[in-house]
Amino acid sequence: MKVALVHDWLTGMRGGENVLEIFCEMFPQADLYTLIHVKGSVSKTIEDRTIHTSFLQNIPGVEKKYRWFLPLMPMAIGSFRLEGYDLVLSSSHCVAKGINPGGAPSLCYCFTPMRYAWDMYGDYFNRRRFSPVTLSAIGAVMPFLRRWDVGTSSRVDRFIGISNHVRERINRHYDRDADVIYPPVDVDFYTPGDVPKEGYVIVSAFAPYKRVDLAVEAFNSMGKPLHIVGGGEDDGRLRGMAGPSITFESGASRERLRELYRKSSALIFPGEEDFGIVPVEAMACGTPVIAYGKGGAMETIIPLGDKNPTGLFFENQTVEGLIEAVRRFEAERDAFNPGILRKNAGRFSKQVFVERMRLAVADFLKK
């Protein structure tokens, strides 16, 4: 079977690229299409594919500023000419699902409809981050992007969402139903350790919707230790906000992340995520999660008050709401059992993902 894999861009190994890596293992002879490829930024399994890039690849400096070329991305994904494939499998959070499949059956594993065009437009584009002139230009382009996004959803024969939260978005924006297959987490690597637990940890990209700033403000107020691992566009602003109880780390290895999960009292997860792999990694290490009670976290975390809890939620995405949740956690931390936490994380293993995807692909190609 001749397969084409389609992914938005290859600039680093994050949750989406971990999924793509498994697709490459499932279809080792597949060709890979992507807007841009920063060589050496992804795993060898992905790098070993025959990788086709768009005209964006030839723009000087695009590797670091590719998000600025969002208005050109529909044209870029449309420039590919796919022919002779038996299956087109896209892994998409931006424009990958809009590729023309050239008559082949098109299956999309959808991380989310383009979040900066829809649900989180205000989080990405606001006066705190952009000038009025830039915001005006973005506002002029966005209606086109939304029309394109909805229009090209018809090129997909079947959607698979990464959570029921994303399934609802697919239905709302595209008027399409979707199956749900949760993304894989390496629960064989992320395991508990026999170490004392103290302090709190965040593992996150520094994007606006992640709301790391909320956690910084809360822990400044409480004076409790918080270790933040990550980097991104809000790096300077977050470091400038942080008080003496807050430390930062970038470029942490998987081994270092496992160490931090193991020794932290709890993971802080203050944003609304489509799924959220980090909380599952923490739970696999026996560490409970304090999370904003919305989005994918609602599908992975068993809240305090239920049988066998693995975390607790705060309903108001405010500094006060998070502070109250931390205090509640500290009053009831004995309710969390590391063995139960790890068992819950096992629902999202790579083995479960591969089995469900193989069945989904086989069923899709039968119809």
Dump the DSSP string for 100-162: --TTS-EEEEES-S-TTTTTTHHHHSSTTTS-HHHHHHHHHHHHHHHHHHHHHGGG-SEEEES
CA distances in angstroms from 250 to 14, 127, 255, listed in the order given: 14, 27, 14
Q: How confident is the model at residue 91 (pLDDT cuts 50, 70, 90)?
A: very high
pLDDT digits (tens, 9 = 90+) for 286-319: 999 999 999 999 999 999 999 999 999 999 999 9
**Shared domain check, 153 and 57:** yes
d(CA 295, CA 298): 6
Task: Say which residues have a Cβ less than 8 Å from residue 134's Cβ, sequence separation at least 6.
Answer: none
3-state secondary structure of 5: strand
Residue 124 has pLDDT above 80, yes or no: no
Does the residue 189 lie in any domain? no
Provide the mean pLDDT of the chain: 94
Residue 105 has pLDDT above 70, yes or no: yes
Does the residue 191 lie in any domain? no
Residue 127 has pLDDT above 90, yes or no: no
Mean pLDDT of 338-352: 96
**Shared domain check, 143 and 243:** no
**Shared domain check, 140 and 246:** no
pLDDT digits (tens, 9 = 90+) for 199-215: 999 999 898 889 999 99
pLDDT digits (tens, 9 = 90+) for 139-180: 888 889 999 999 999 999 999 999 999 999 999 999 999 999
Does the residue 165 lie in any domain? yes
**Shared domain check, 262 and 211:** yes
pLDDT at 66: 86
Identify the domain containing residue 232 by its residue range: 200-347
* Residue from 2, 1, 4 nearest 101 by CA: 4
**Shared domain check, 233 and 362:** no
Does the residue 195 lie in any domain? no
Mean pLDDT of 268-292: 96
pLDDT digits (tens, 9 = 90+) for 208-255: 889 999 999 999 999 999 999 998 888 999 999 999 999 999 989 999
d(CA 353, CA 187): 12
Q: How confident is the model at residue 365 (pLDDT cuts 50, 70, 90)?
A: very high
* Residue from 192, 217, 308 nearest 268 by CA: 217
**Shared domain check, 239 and 166:** no
In this structure, what are the phi and psi dihedrals at residue 109, rounded to the nearest 5 degrees? -90, 105
**Shared domain check, 87 and 14:** yes
What percentage of the chain has pLDDT greater than the value 70?
A: 97
- Structural domains of the chain, count: 2
d(CA 265, CA 127): 36
Q: Residue 28 carries which DSSP code?
A: T
**Shared domain check, 273 and 256:** yes
pLDDT at 303: 97
Task: Judge whether 358 and 26 are in contact, CB under 8 Å.
Answer: yes
**Shared domain check, 294 and 165:** no
**Shared domain check, 256 and 334:** yes
Does the residue 342 lie in any domain? yes
**Shared domain check, 290 and 236:** yes
Task: Judge whether 177 and 92 are in contact, CB under 8 Å.
Answer: no
Does the residue 231 lie in any domain? yes
Task: Judge whether 241 and 343 are in contact, CB under 8 Å.
Answer: no
pLDDT at 311: 98
Instruction: Look up the CATH number of the domain holding residue 222.
Output: 3.40.50.2000
The pTM of the full predicted model, rounded to 2 decimals, is 0.88
**Shared domain check, 354 and 270:** no
Residue 46 has pLDDT above 70, yes or no: yes
What tokens appear for 232 in the block?
A: 């991104």
* Residue from 162, 165, 252, 163 nearest 203 by CA: 252
Task: Judge whether 275 and 162 are in contact, CB under 8 Å.
Answer: yes
Does the residue 42 lie in any domain? yes
Residue 56 has pLDDT above 70, yes or no: yes
Please indicate whether residue 128 or residue 76 has the higher confidence score (pLDDT).
76
Mean pLDDT of 112-126: 74
Name the least confident of 124-133, 264-273, 296-305. 124-133
pLDDT digits (tens, 9 = 90+) for 17-40: 999 999 999 999 999 999 999 999
Does the residue 192 lie in any domain? no
d(CA 240, CA 220): 12
pLDDT at 126: 67
Mean pLDDT of 337-362: 97
